[in-house]
């Protein structure tokens, strides 16, 4: 299939390479920053760098919209696609309806809107095997949905039809499970730094924590620590230790309370 990529950030780059590896042709790459588009295009087999959003003469059948949620309004306003093209966004947080509305406001031509959302955190420049990455597909057009499921199944063993409402829940849950947990690890590193201790000391514990949480049916079943034990002596000692840092005290208190109330 001929595919064009709109947006050359982490998601756009990773998907482009994966599509090429599965014998699809990346036809065009657009980015609001031209240098990023041409850089990505240069790593691909024969993709052209596109500097505007008029794709009316494009031979691509599928347009992957991999821009930030904030940029989507601006991009959709200018986007012109060939007849019968599929436009699939890759965002966890934007509903299919929102994309359809954005396209309907500005365009007469019918476009087949869809969602092609890989539930993963991508890092620039780091290759990542997509075969275990869940792909969440959605479209109101059944033929489009089946086409996207087919392409996703080439990339990954885990492909789901997920509604916009379900995807929103997944996106929120991912913020707790990924972004917030990473931040707690950063805070823990700050605490060890303050005593000139190596963060490495905590790594075996962190590895075991996650191994255990992922091996169980519900992480709540393997909760440990002073909060779940109701060990007030230790909790008060910890709060006393943290007392100079209002932010850490607040997080400690609210997480302790939440553990005790679950």
Please list the residues that pair with 6 across neighbouring strands: 30, 65
Q: What residues numbered 108-127 form the site for a second copy, per CB under 8 A?
A: 119-121, 123
- Return the residues of window 86-105 that contact a second copy according to CB under 8 A: 93
134 is an interface residue for a second copy by CB under 8 A: yes
Please give the torsion angle defined by the CA atoms of residues 190, 194, 200 and 202, in that order, rounded to the nearest 10 degrees: -70
User: How many Å apart are CA 242 and CA 256, to the nearest integer?
Assistant: 14
Q: How far is the CB of 237 from a second copy (least distance, A)?
A: 6
Asked if 132 is part of the footprint of a second copy (rule: CB under 8 A), the reply reads yes
Strands 25-30 and 135-139: unpaired
Does 17 bind a second copy (CB under 8 A)? Our answer is no
21 binds a second copy (CB under 8 A): no
| 249 forms part of the interface with a second copy (CB under 8 A) | no
Residues 190-209 that bind a second copy (CB under 8 A): 190-192, 194-195, 197, 199, 201-209
Other CB atoms within a 10 A radius of the CB of residue 4 amount to 26
> DSSP readout, 202-249?
GHHHHHHHHHHHHHSS-GGGG--SHHHHT-HHHHHHHHHHHTT-HHHH
Nearest alpha-carbon partner for 81 in 48, 47, 115, 104: 104
Q: Which of residues 30-49 bind a second copy (CB under 8 A)?
A: none
Q: Of 57 and 230, which has the nearer Cβ to a second copy?
A: 230
Q: Does 178 bind a second copy (CB under 8 A)?
A: yes
Give the residue with the Cβ less far from a second copy, 59 or 203. 203
d(CA 80, CA 58): 10
Q: How far is the CB of 54 from a second copy (least distance, A)?
A: 26
Contact status: 219 vs a second copy (CB under 8 A)? yes
Strands (E), 45-158: 48-50, 62-65, 86-89, 112-118, 135-139
Give the binding range for a second copy (CB under 8 A) out of 28-36, 42-50, 137-145, 176-184: 176-184
User: Which residues in the 136-165 window bind a second copy by CB under 8 A?
Assistant: 158, 160, 162, 165
Q: Is 52 in the site for a second copy (CB under 8 A)?
A: no
DSSP code at position 124: T
């Amino acid at each position: 299939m001929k595919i064009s990529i709109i947006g050359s950030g982490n998601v756009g780059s990773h998907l482009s390479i994966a599509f090429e590896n599965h014998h699809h042709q990346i036809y065009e790459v657009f980015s609001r920053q031209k240098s990023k588009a041409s850089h990505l295009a240069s790593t691909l087999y024969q993709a052209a760098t596109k500097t505007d959003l008029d794709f009316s003469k494009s031979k691509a059948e599928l347009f992957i919209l991999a821009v930030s949620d904030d940029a989507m309004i601006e991009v959709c306003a200018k986007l012109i696609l060939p007849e019968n093209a599929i436009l699939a966004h890759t965002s966890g947080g934007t509903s299919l309806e929102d994309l359809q509305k954005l396209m309907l406001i500005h365009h007469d031509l019918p476009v087949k809107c869809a969602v092609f959302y890989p539930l993963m955190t991508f890092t620039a420049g780091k290759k990542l095997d997509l075969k275990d990455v869940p792909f969440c597909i959605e479209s109101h057009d059944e033929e489009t949905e089946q086409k996207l499921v087919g392409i996703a199944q080439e990339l990954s063993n885990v492909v789901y039809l997920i509604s916009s409402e379900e995807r929103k829940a997944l996106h929120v849950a991912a913020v707790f499970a990924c972004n917030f947990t990473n931040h707690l690890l950063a805070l823990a590193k700050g605490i060890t730094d303050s005593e000139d201790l190596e963060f490495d000391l905590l790594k075996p514990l962190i590895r075991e924590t996650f191994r255990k949480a992922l091996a169980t049916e519900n992480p709540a079943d393997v909760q440990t620590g002073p909060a779940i034990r109701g060990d007030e002596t230790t909790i008060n000692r910890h709060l006393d230790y943290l007392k100079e840092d209002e932010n850490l005290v607040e997080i400690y208190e609210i997480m302790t309370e939440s553990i005790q109330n679950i």
